[in-house]
Structure 1
């Protein structure tokens, strides 16, 4: 399996450009058309994780590999992928037609409410085979998103979030989730699940009196009764990211949200996120975003 593809690498490889401010924006969203793509580079996408979310609407003859599942289909289909499960898509015959949208975890202020749906879960079904009428329904939503993202509407990204949620709900109307017996997790997956639970339990930050209690790998490893190296190995195996990267990503999501959605000063936000010195928080933020917290807030 190839290395996980982040947003910057995706744009460098597929689009040959990097959108401005992609590292400093609070959340990223984009949408693309694939009509007429038939080059060798589109014949088979490598089996890998993406470090962002993707929803695809396709027509044609494809083979879709998702985790340990393989689905071949020769009719319109809607596909959901997430950063936790690797996938590949192979064109069997004809050209690649359709469209897809991508978005970062931080694009949704309340992503957990979206992720509760089984289309984004490990034991859910990410493939929806569509009739002609169903295809038209989803194609209309994608057309509306294409029109929206190119418009000058002030609240277009709020509208795009609503359109993504509409895609999910229309898919669920086609195939409601049927509970299946939970698949036994291996040791790495159990530790990963416990780590994510500990990490997420610290958020969201809703008061200047609330503070992150764990910000370093050793603090999580001690709580989980494993070594730092073992925790790191489990997370790399399960998610393709290091302990530091996962902690950093989650803190940065919260930092962006607090800077954009509260009037708290930078010192208060830094303290809530576990930084004793405001200069340490400023340096941490600049290292990951490229600009200071105040510059980000003003952007």
Structure 2
């Protein structure tokens, strides 16, 4: 879903919302913030990837659908959605309140650092943060400040919005157990960032005729013109996971999304992900997800049948 598609859908339920001019987005980026009340509907949002980031303060009941997760929310939580993972939100209670803000990657990259090296990168694998009443009050105040500043004519309000976004992320991270600090040198961080950039540029896959080109640590090392041992050391030092683990996890997540949301057969999906033989894809998928691709496809069919009934 593009920004324009979002605003077209959003303004249908909120006639007071004007679709903004988006011609400057490629250069300056985009940011906006809204209250959730009056916008949420009983119909689930479309299940797809967005080309923008979204941070929501959810007050009410609902279900967040992810490729391999179904997360129920009953009360108050923060949700962080990024551009790489498809999702859908389904409200399950009449009462819905809270706020959300959305922004593009280049809005956050005004300070020239890659987004994957910012604080936002730390919350991409954990989209939901449950918060208490005191945090709800504090976070609501941040969103209210966003709304007030966005309406002002302050020349540096974009910088303030970036600071508010970082405050929201830090407040969410405080709800999780402390993690060991990442040990990384500037060189290791730079190499790791280049690796992730190459990895993510391959996704999403839009055609079954497209074949994944970079599938192994050696493939990425060759593309980056460095020795594979150097790449493996940098990625492991920076993230705590091996290069191969990151590649496999990303391929597995893409496979789940394709099984759930395309009509391609399993052989076509495996081929597009670089597996020449279906048996090899089945073995890989079962090793990383504990289920067979056929089980994901059959479960999707059961869900569609229930919805039709």
Q: Shorter-chain TM-score: what band?
A: 0.5 to 0.7
Offset of 1:163 from its aligned partner?
0.5
Offset of 1:166 from its aligned partner?
0.7
TM-score of the two chains, using structure 2 as the length reference: 0.55
**Correspondences of 1:1-299 after superposition (within 5 Å):** 5-15=1-11, 17-20=18-21, 21-23=23-25, 25-37=27-39, 39-40=41-42, 43-108=43-108, 109=110, 110=113, 111-114=115-118, 117-120=121-124, 124-176=125-177, 178=179, 196-197=197-198, 237=254
Q: 1:74 to 1:198 in 2, by over 3 A?
A: closer
Offset of 1:104 from its aligned partner?
0.4
Please, which runs of 5 or more residues in structure 2 have no aligned partner? Answer: 13-17, 181-193, 202-209, 224-250, 258-309
Between 1:143-152 and 1:60-69, the stretch displaced more is 60-69
CA distance in 2, matches of 1:26, 1:38: 29
TM-score of the two chains, using structure 1 as the length reference: 0.56
1:273 matched to which residue of 2? none
Offset of 1:39 from its aligned partner?
3.7
C-alpha contact (below 8 Å) 1:32/1:101 kept by paired residues: yes
- Deviation per residue, 1:218-248 (Å, 9 max, x gap): xx87x7689xxxxxxx8xx57x9xxxxxxxx
Please, which runs of 5 or more residues in structure 1 have no aligned partner? Answer: 180-192, 201-216, 227-233, 241-299
RMSD after superposition: 3.5
CA distance in 2, matches of 1:44, 1:86: 13
Q: Considering Cα pairs closer than 8 Å and 6+ residues apart, tell me whether 1 or 2 has the greater RCO.
A: 1
- Deviation per residue, 1:188-238 (Å, 9 max, x gap): xxxxx95734899xxxxxxxxxxxxxxxx9xx87x7689xxxxxxx8xx57
Please state which structure has a larger fraction of its residues in helix: 2
